[in-house]
């Protein structure tokens, strides 16, 4: 790949040219076996690399939390006491049908675990929730119960050949993004949305690997003074979520059509601090109404924050936020 350098695999004896100048494989099992034993990439290569990486990072930042993952659709590696501590299991997950086909169908999706098609919106929601829940089980069974964070998820915005860029109709992108966001909420999982690209364009996308998954594009921006201008599918992206909970979250859901947010948690008796929820003005420009099971609350439209003080006499608490209609 560099001037005056031959193929690294040829130099290592993986292949060569025969007497007629035609390439031929010399070691067909080079990438599958070592010393006659079948390679387990996650345990043989990724795990040692992750440990070396953690050691190097912590030589500079001792308290760093390290994100690790495994090969998709493969048996997970085992992470034990001899491996780096203080890690988070951070796998990637995508709506495979939307990602690869660049099409959205309300009643059609795929299960990456089985490779099978899933029909019906209710079955799709359950399938997505089950797929993501599987990562939590891996964290428990293979990583000793470490926290799980979905390290990457999102949707391509150039669906149907970028039709929305010409029509301005982003309904499919909004529904696709919402479907993935609900999978996170159904599992009460933290997640990292892929991605935000500051110089995204309709023509060149994210300017990497032919991808176009950015929730922002200069070509959709009409008013640089408006923080939301240029945003894509923000109806699904900008949604309420608890950012500080005085206990254990139990259930969470957001309905983008009804603009209804529901949250339930069990408070920790040792915590007296309030629960804070981000309530975006983008979803509730005219304000919102609140129903709580108990306690008291304050709202701050400037900081877009809802602060809830639970009643210590109750074990669990519910918060229901809806759009103001008056």
At which of 237, 267, 293 does a domain end?
237
Distance separating alpha carbons of residues 17 and 271, to the nearest angstrom: 71
Residues 180 and 264 placed together within one structural domain of the fold: no
Classify residue 69 as exposed, middle or buried by CB count within 10 Å of its CB (0-12, 13-18, 19+).
buried
Per DSSP, the residues of 85-105 read SSEEE--B---HHHHHH---B
pLDDT of 57 > 90? The answer is yes
Are 215 and 247 part of one and the same domain? no
Neighbours of 118 (CB within 10 A): 19
Q: Are residue 152 and residue 289 in the same domain, yes or no?
A: no
Query: Looking at 237, 252, 285, which one is the last position of a domain?
Result: 237
Average of per-residue pLDDT values in the chain: 94
**Considering the domain boundaries, does residue 75 fall inside one?**
no
Residue 87 has pLDDT above 70, yes or no: yes
Which of 237, 257, 280 is the C-terminal boundary of a domain?
Answer: 237
How many residues in the chain? 326
Which range marks the domain in which residue 148 is found?
A: 90-237
**Rounded average pLDDT over 41-65:** 95
Please state the separation of Cα 104 from the chain's center in Å: 18
Residues 269 and 211 in one domain: no
Asked if residue 75 has pLDDT above 80, the reply is no
pLDDT digits (tens, 9 = 90+) for 118-141: 999 999 999 999 999 999 999 999
What number is the average pLDDT over the span 86-112? 95
CATH code, 318: 2.60.40.1180
* Domain count across the chain: 3
Does residue 194 sit in the same domain as residue 307? Answer: no
Give domain status of residue 77, yes or no.
no
Q: 226 and 110, same structural domain?
A: yes
Q: How far is CA 219 from the centre of its chain?
A: 25
pTM to 2 decimals?
A: 0.89
What 3-state class would DSSP assign to 246? coil
Residues 176, 131 share a domain:
yes
Residue carrying the six token digits 């982003």: 170
Paired with 276 in beta bridges are 244, 307
User: Same domain, yes or no, for 232 and 246?
Assistant: no
Task: Tell whether the torsion through CA atoms of 12, 17, 18 and 24 is positive or negative.
Answer: positive
Residue 84 lies in a domain: no
Q: What is the mean pLDDT of residues 48-69?
A: 96
Same domain, 165 and 191: yes
Q: Are residues 115 and 254 in the same domain?
A: no
């Amino acid at each position: 790949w560099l001037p005056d350098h031959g193929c690294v695999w040829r130099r290592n004896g993986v292949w060569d040219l025969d007497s007629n100048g035609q390439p031929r494989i010399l070691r067909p099992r080079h990438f599958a076996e070592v010393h006659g034993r079948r390679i387990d990439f996650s345990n043989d290569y990724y795990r040692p690399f992750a440990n070396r990486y953690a050691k190097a990072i912590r030589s500079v930042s001792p308290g760093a939390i390290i994100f690790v993952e495994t090969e998709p659709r493969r048996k997970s590696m085992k992470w034990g006491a001899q491996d780096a501590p203080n890690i988070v299991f951070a796998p990637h997950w995508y709506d495979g049908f939307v990602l690869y086909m660049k099409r959205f169908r309300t009643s059609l999706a795929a299960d990456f675990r089985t490779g099978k098609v899933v029909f019906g919106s209710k079955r799709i929601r359950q399938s997505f929730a089950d797929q993501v829940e599987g990562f939590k089980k891996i964290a428990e069974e293979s990583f000793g119960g470490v926290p799980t964070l979905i390290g990457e998820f999102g949707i391509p915005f150039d669906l149907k050949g970028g039709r929305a860029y010409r029509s301005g109709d982003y309904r499919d992108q909004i529904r696709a993004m919402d479907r993935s966001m609900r999978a996170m909420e159904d599992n009460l999982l933290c997640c990292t949305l892929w991605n935000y690209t500051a110089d995204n364009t309709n023509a060149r996308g994210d300017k990497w690997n032919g991808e176009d998954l950015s929730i922002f594009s200069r070509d959709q921006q009409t008013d640089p003074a408006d923080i939301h201008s240029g945003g894509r599918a923000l109806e699904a992206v900008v949604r309420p979520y608890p950012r500080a909970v005085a206990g254990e979250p139990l259930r969470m859901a957001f309905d983008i059509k009804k603009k209804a947010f529901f949250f339930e948690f069990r408070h920790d008796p040792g915590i007296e601090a309030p629960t804070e929820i981000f309530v975006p003005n983008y979803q509730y420009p005219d304000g919102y109404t609140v129903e709580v099971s108990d306690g008291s609350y304050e709202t701050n439209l400037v900081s877009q924050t809802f602060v809830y003080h639970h009643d210590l006499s109750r074990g669990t608490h519910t918060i229901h936020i809806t759009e103001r209609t008056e």
